[in-house]
Structure formats: C-alpha cells, structure tokens
Structure 1
Amino acid sequence: MNTLHRRKKSRATPVRKDLHPKNLHNLGYDFPALIESHPALAPHVKRNAHGELFVDFADPVAVKTLNAALLNRYYNIVGWDIPEGALCPPIPGRADYIHYMADLLGHEKPNVKLLDIGTGANGIYPLLACQLYGWQCVGSDINTQSLDNVATIIAHNPTLKDRFTLRTQHDKNHIFEGIIQPGEFFDVSVCNPPFHASPDEALKGSQRKLNNLARSRGEHNANTHSPTLNFGGLGAELWCKGGEQLFLKKLIRESQAYSTQCRWFSSLVSKADNVKPALKLIGKLGAVDSREIEMKQGNKVTRVLAWTFI
C-alpha cells in the first residue's frame, strides 16, 4: 500500500470534527500544498474579500482540477480525469464512506474485498479504498464509456493494476446478478445510487445546488451557470426510473439472493424520507443486522445504510 501524505498537526486551522477522525481532509484544503503537487490548480485558486484562498465550486473545471490535485497529493493517484458532464464526486465525503466501512469491518481484517456498484467514470470509491486500506476492489457499471475512463485512470497508476478490476453490467434490470460470480465473496459492497427519477428532476436539482452556491457567495442567482456540467452525470449516474427510492428497493431485494456472498451490503441515501422504508424492507427480508451511519460535511448531512444477512 502506498504511503499517504498526511498534514502537519501544527497547522493553525481548527479540525473539522464533522468528518471522520481519520479523514485526511479534516483541516480543510491546503491550497499552497495542493498547487505545489498539482500546478494545474493554480489558475483556479482565488482570494475572497477576507484574503482567504478558495475555489469556485460552480466552475466544473475548477472542481475537477481540485479533485485531481487532492487525489495526487493525498492518495498518490496521478492522471485522474473525467469526461465533460460526468459526475464529479466530493473527495472528503467519499473518503468518509470508505472510513466508515472500514470501521464496520474492523481495521484488523486482512485482504478485504470491496464491490462498487455503479462506479461511474470517476471510480472514486475503489481508488480511495485501494490507497487508504490496500483493499482489493471491483467496480461495476452499465456504462462501458465510464468503465473505459476508469481503465485509463488505472493504467496511469500501475500499483492499482492488480487491486482494482472492472466489470460491465450488461442487464439494466439487475445489480448484483452478472457481477458477483459463483463462489465469489465480498466483504462489503458500496453504492452511490442515482438520486433523481428523471433527467428533468436531475437538472432542477443541479440548479438548486448552483443557486445555493451563489447565495453563499452573495450573488442573487446562478442562472448564468450551466447546471449540466458540474452537477451533471453520464447516463445512470444521477437519475433512473423511480429515483433513489425504487433503486434502493431493487438493491436491497437483490442483495438477499447474494446474502452468503457479501458480508455487508451498503448504500448512500441522500433523501432522509427513504431511510425508514429501506430499513423496514431490510428487516422484512431477513437481515440479521442493519446500521444507519450519519456523515456530515459542513452543513451537508448524508447517510449510509448497511445491512448483513450473515
């Protein structure tokens, strides 16, 4: 496993206690250090009225470049890139998910194998899991173009070649079937499900995010920005028929058929209203344990549901 860069404890910025204690980004973004390791970030870093360095999160190129810099400096991943319009994940929040799954499994457990359902064009969960904990990872997706992009990222990082493999889901009606092979066992599956029920709903959600960012900068609106870029998503990354609720139901139901081949199934849940019915279904299908894990990043609260039949 690669040795990760860790920040000096002497830094004056207070620890952000809302992130997982092991999260490398608990002290915020060290922009000078990030620029040092990834000079392409320099043009995107500006100073606000208080003299503080910042990146415009409504600018898709700036956000993508920040991600590349974070992955380079803190996770020894080079050449990370995504196609225009692809989902650009927040690295600190995605790292939190992996840390909480490590807590769930027990850090002393060797040879952990992770399955990422819908790895997308960014492949972020396996990338972080490989570099943080040295896990063996499989990323699955229905979009072959997304998988091709992740394959390019893996090719730029030879140490990932034997630890991160990709599989295509050929049937849009299935999640685990065709991906988990007979006799195969995973310690944990992770998933960032599509939030919205239609492209129109996804577009409106992206516009709301842009408006919130504009308000935080003191602007009246964000209509001058294109929401299809920074908060976009290729194919099934942001939306599917029935939205998050139906996807979760499908994920949970199909997990029962693979109950002996995965220790812990898990998924992000963005909408709080979807938690209760999901937990009810998990219990109904015979899971012996389930967890609701709350994660915070600033004012944003997300949840991970995890369940096991073993």
Structure 2
Amino acid sequence: MHVRNVHKDGYPMAELCQDYPALKAYLISAKSGKQSINFSQPDAVKALNAALLVHYYGIDTWDIPQGYLCPPVPGRADYIHGIADLLATQNGGLIPRGNQVNGLDVGIGANAIYPIIGSASYGWRFIGSDIDDLSIKSAKTLASDNPNLAPLLMVRKQADKEQIFRGIIKPDEHFAFTMCNPPFHKSAEDAALGSKRKAKSLEKNRHKRNLKARHNSPLAPALNFSGMANELWCEGGELAFIQRMISQSVAYKEQVDWFTCLVSKSAHLKAIETSVNYYGARTFLKMDMGQGQKQSRFVAWTFQEK
C-alpha cells in the first residue's frame, strides 16, 4: 500500500472496537490467533468500515442503504493518496492541502468514501455527483450528520445519465482534480457472474484459513458483493465509460487541472491512452497502486501545459 496509507499495517482490532463497540459482535479468531472478521459476511464488513472511518477519519456516524456497495477502505485511501502525489508534482513536490483544493467525485455513491478520506487526510473540499436518488440522499445525510465533513462536501444530482460533467461543473468553478470508480461490467448478467466468482473465491480462502465464522450460510458470501445497477455495470463496461469520460472532458479542459479514473483491467490501458491522445490532452499518466497481491491503477490526463 501507499506509504501514507494508515491501513498498511493491518487492522488494530482492539482499538477499533474501543472506538466502535458494535464491531465486537463480528470478531472471530483466525488460524494465526489474531482477531479478524468474516469478510464474507456483509454486516461484518460494514461494521469494520464504520469502525475504520470513526477511528482514522473523524466520522461520527456512517451507514449505507441495504444493497449498496460497501467499499474496502484501504484501497480507496490509496487512490486519494495517489492523487495527492499527482498534485504535488505541480506544486514543487509539496502536497497541496486545505479547502482551496477542490475535487469532483464522479459517482460518489451512497458511501461517500472518497470525500471522507480526502477531506480528513488533506482538508480538500469535494463535490460529489451521482445519478441515483438514494445514493444522493445517503451521501447528503452522511455530510449533514458529520460536522467535520459537512463544510467540505456538497452533493449534486446528475439528471442526464449520458453526461458526466455537464450539469455538475458550474461555469465559474475550478477543480484541481476529478476522480471516478467507474462501473466495471457490461451487463447485469456479467455483474452477477463476477459477484459469484468473487464469492466462491472468498469462501475458498476462508476455508483455507480455517476461520471460525459465526455465520456459515452458503448465501452469505454473495451478499457481500451487492450493489445497484449503476454501481456495477453500464453499456460497454468500464472501457466505454472511461472513453465517454475522456471525450466529455474536453469541454472542461480549462476548469479542471487533472482528470483521473480508476482502471480495473490493464488490458484497457492502451485504448484509453489512444483516446486521450486523440482528444488532444497534453499529458497522460498511469499511476500504479497495490494492495497485497492485487495490482490496481488509475489514469490521469490534462489538457493544460504542465
């Protein structure tokens, strides 16, 4: 993980339980003897997330509606820290901090995870956009219920599902960066198959570690990979979404310093770079991230002279 990622050394379960007592109900003993949770149990994962956000990011209360994505906090933190490194390259090597740094989270979701981490870590101000009404309501509630977050997060509804920036970025606004975790799958069927594969893999690993799970329903693992349609899939999948983002970013090239987006499949990188070059961006970067054995990355492009 990133050197500034506070989660790089694992989860201090005793401290987390002290700050968020509800987590205690989900603790189990791993084969190593250390305390853990059953990561195939959705309620346990949500409790761990809430504990992490309370302990590290000053959040008083955090929750998401049933069926919405519950993001892994450490990986989301890596994306924020990667953007901080990107901004530092144009600021004499120093990470710009404070509420004068504005970021746009495209697809904030019900969890508002990126603004929570970014505002707590660097004091940045965020606009979060989404097409889903319940996600908008949930993100607004998270902002209003947490005094540290409220002045640094504004949530806007994207009324046109075909647009990414239009209707969200106002004419007089400037953003240091935009960020996005795009829908990965091409269809609902593809998303269901992907969730099933993840569930099987997670359950297999759980048995390998001989975890003593409190609940062992065969249906439990699949539930951990729930999510609304707009969170999981779009026509054409990840590549089509990112290419649409690139084409629409041209209209806002003077208002945004860096456009960024996560890329799940490395096979998409070449096509993404080709699109960025086609639309006349001056700089294209690929920023690698890693969580354990899993490698991930985000891409960044700018139309401005750097």
- Normalising by structure 1, we get a TM-score of 0.90
Q: How does 1:30-45 map to 2 (within 5 A)?
A: 30-45=12-27
1:131 match: 120
CA drift of 1:223 comes to 8.8
Matched, 1:236 2:218: no
Matched, 1:218 2:212: no
Give unmatched runs, 5+ long, in structure 1.
Answer: 1-18
8 Å contact 2:107–2:181 — kept in the other structure? yes
Q: How many residues align?
A: 290
8 Å contact 2:203–2:221 — kept in the other structure? no
1:5 match: none
Q: How does 1:257-272 map to 2 (within 5 A)?
A: 257-272=251-266
2:285 match: 291
Distance in structure 2 (CA, Å) of the matches to 1:173 and 1:50 = 49
CA drift of 1:159 comes to 2.4
User: CA RMSD, aligned part only?
Assistant: 1.4
The residue identity in structure 1 corresponding to 2:101 is V
Bigger mean CA offset, 272-281 vs 185-194? 272-281
Bigger mean CA offset, 113-122 vs 296-305? 296-305
List 4+ stretches of structure 1 deviating above 6 A: none
8 Å contact 1:35–1:41 — kept in the other structure? yes
Q: 1:99 aligns with which of 81, 90, 98?
A: 81
Query: Secondary structure, in 3 states, of the residue corresponding to 1:216?
Result: helix
Distance in structure 2 (CA, Å) of the matches to 1:65 and 1:236 = 24
The residue identity in structure 2 corresponding to 1:212 is S
The residue identity in structure 2 corresponding to 1:62 is A
8 Å contact 1:117–1:191 — kept in the other structure? yes
1:121 match: 110
The residue identity in structure 2 corresponding to 1:225 is L
2:247 match: 253
Matched, 1:109 2:96: yes
Distance 1:250 1:104, change over 3 A: same
CA drift of 1:218 comes to 2.6
CA drift of 1:152 comes to 1.2
Give unmatched runs, 5+ long, in structure 2.
Answer: 89-93, 209-215
Deviations 1:99-158 (A, max 9, x none): 110111114435210000000000111111111000010000001110101111112212
Distance in structure 2 (CA, Å) of the matches to 1:43 and 1:65 = 9
CA drift of 1:242 comes to 1.0
8 Å contact 1:186–1:263 — kept in the other structure? yes
2:148 match: 159
Distance in structure 2 (CA, Å) of the matches to 1:266 and 1:227 = 31
Distance in structure 1 (CA, Å) of the matches to 2:178 and 2:221 = 30
Distance in structure 1 (CA, Å) of the matches to 2:128 and 2:31 = 43
Deviations 1:258-295 (A, max 9, x none): 11110000000111111110011101111111111111
CA drift of 1:229 comes to 2.7
Matched, 1:25 2:7: yes
Deviations 1:42-65 (A, max 9, x none): 011110233121111111100011
8 Å contact 2:191–2:232 — kept in the other structure? yes
Distance in structure 2 (CA, Å) of the matches to 1:147 and 1:162 = 17
The residue identity in structure 1 corresponding to 2:121 is L
The residue identity in structure 2 corresponding to 1:42 is K
Query: Secondary structure, in 3 states, of the residue corresponding to 2:151?
Result: coil
Distance in structure 2 (CA, Å) of the matches to 1:171 and 1:279 = 26
Deviations 1:139-193 (A, max 9, x none): 0000111010111111221222221001100001100011011121100000000
- Normalising by structure 2, we get a TM-score of 0.92
CA drift of 1:38 comes to 0.3
Query: Secondary structure, in 3 states, of the residue corresponding to 1:274?
Result: helix
Distance in structure 1 (CA, Å) of the matches to 2:116 and 2:32 = 35
Distance in structure 2 (CA, Å) of the matches to 1:73 and 1:223 = 30
Matched, 1:74 2:74: no
Give the share of equivalent positions with the same residue, in percent: 44
Distance in structure 2 (CA, Å) of the matches to 1:105 and 1:49 = 42
Distance in structure 2 (CA, Å) of the matches to 1:257 and 1:229 = 40
8 Å contact 1:85–1:228 — kept in the other structure? no
